[in-house]
Structure 1
Amino acid sequence: MSVEVKDKVADYLGEALGRPIDLAPLPGDTTLNSFGLDSLSTIGVLVTLLEDCGVDLGEHADSLVTPSTLDDLYAIAGRFMKVEEPTSNGSDMSRELRSQLDYYQEKLAYEIDAADLKAALDEGQDLVVVDGRSSEAYELEHIPGAVSIPHRSISQESLAGLSRTPLYVAYCDGIGCNASTKTAIKLASSGFRVKELIGGLDWWKRDNYPTEGRAARCDAPVHANCGCAG
């Protein structure tokens, strides 16, 4: 987390509490109520932060959850604040090319495809697959081992028991559904590391991977290697 983001969060907390706040020695999991903030004053801090960042509260209301720790506030501030990145005088890379490379790197940082997810699961990597659809859709068919966390039910309370160590991979039906995006936003806003599964359950099945549930494909066809693996 950048120093600028931490300094701004300290300013917002100091304004709400009426005294200077030094966050440098405090771990990210420090609870906001330990500063003496109740739920109402915490929401006040959140609203002030978002208004200062020029965020349309109505547009993002569905993707925001009330923060409960410093990490929660850092994640929200980092998401909406425009932090200037230092420039390198020694680089002759054009601004357009740098922007293009940043775009593609960010796609890989925030997205994962079915083949890479299957490989990660087979390797036993520390990740949790999250189905952001309704519980009914999950029970009908889902990716093996996935946990059901409908995006509309996500709150600080529902996330309280989740470890922040694993990578969380959110998915939904596919490109015609945005439940995975809403799930990823809410998890990221709460300080979790998240990627979104490209194509969701639809493309997982197109790659001939098995599913679980009442409509599960227990005997999926033999999988053909992903063309991007060549």
Structure 2
Amino acid sequence: MTATDTTPTPAAPTTATANPVLRVAPASPAAAAAYFGASLAFHADVSDVAAALAADGDPGFVLLDSRSTESWDQGHVPGAVHLPTALIPEQAEQLLDKSVPVVTYCWGPGCNGATRAALALAQLGFQVKEMLGGFEYWAREGFAYETWEGPARKDADPLTAPIDADDCGC
């Protein structure tokens, strides 16, 4: 196998019954680097988005909430642009600048709305990433959000964010 070969090398089972984790062998280091590098080109996590928005100055991207108006009213990231996925084809070019990357979000990891919004924007020629975890993890990690009633914030869920640290260290 060459350094650029992306074919996984089968792992030799160490017991009569193959380890379920290694039943399908890990990819080669080169294939893994390509895959994970590509993943980072398509995704941003909630903590990184929050840090970029909290820093002084322009974060270099627009954050786009692709949910319905009812969902937006329940809670959204401060400073986000609201553009439901169904309206992207007719309104994106009036609301967004194609020279500025867009980061999409929807409800959470169980929803593919942000993915559909990112696809619609990419098809229109926008540079786009998806915020992993969506609004659910924004709120679960303890970041401030806005509702129709005003600002809100919940304590960080200890299963999603460290309680006594600024970041998770990853």
Query: Which bracket does the TM-score occupy, shorter chain normalised?
Result: 0.7 to 0.9
> What's the secondary structure of 2:62's corresponding residue?
strand
2:91 paired residue number: 158
Q: 1:136 to 1:226 in 2, by over 3 A?
A: same
User: 132, 136, 139: which is aligned to 1:202?
Assistant: 136
Offset from partner CA, 1:168-196 (integer Å, 9 cap, x none): 11001101111101000001111111110
2:123 paired residue number: 189
Instruction: For structure 1, list consecutive stretches of 5 or more residues without a partner in the other structure.
Output: 1-90
More helix by share: 1
User: Distance between the aligned counterparts of 2:154 and 2:112, measured in 1?
Assistant: 26
User: 108, 121, 129: which is aligned to 2:53?
Assistant: 121
Runs ≥4 residues deviating over 4 A? none
> What's the secondary structure of 1:142's corresponding residue?
coil
2:66 paired residue number: 132
**2:3–2:30 contact (8 Å) kept in structure 1:** no
2:18 paired residue number: none
The one-letter amino acid of 1:159's match is A
Offset from partner CA, 1:51-81 (integer Å, 9 cap, x none): xxxxxxxxxxxxxxxxxxxxxxxxxxxxxxx
Asked if 1:168 corresponds to 2:96, the answer is: no
Aligned length: 138
Q: Percent identity?
A: 32
- TM-score normalised by length of structure 2: 0.73
1:226 paired residue number: 167
More strand by share: 2
Offset from partner CA, 1:26-47 (integer Å, 9 cap, x none): xxxxxxxxxxxxxxxxxxxxxx
User: Distance between the aligned counterparts of 1:215 and 1:110, measured in 2?
Assistant: 33
The one-letter amino acid of 2:46's match is A
> What's the secondary structure of 1:154's corresponding residue?
helix
User: Distance between the aligned counterparts of 1:145 and 1:196, measured in 2?
Assistant: 16
Instruction: For structure 2, list consecutive stretches of 5 or more residues without a partner in the other structure.
Output: 7-27, 157-162
> Shift of residue 219 of structure 1?
4.5
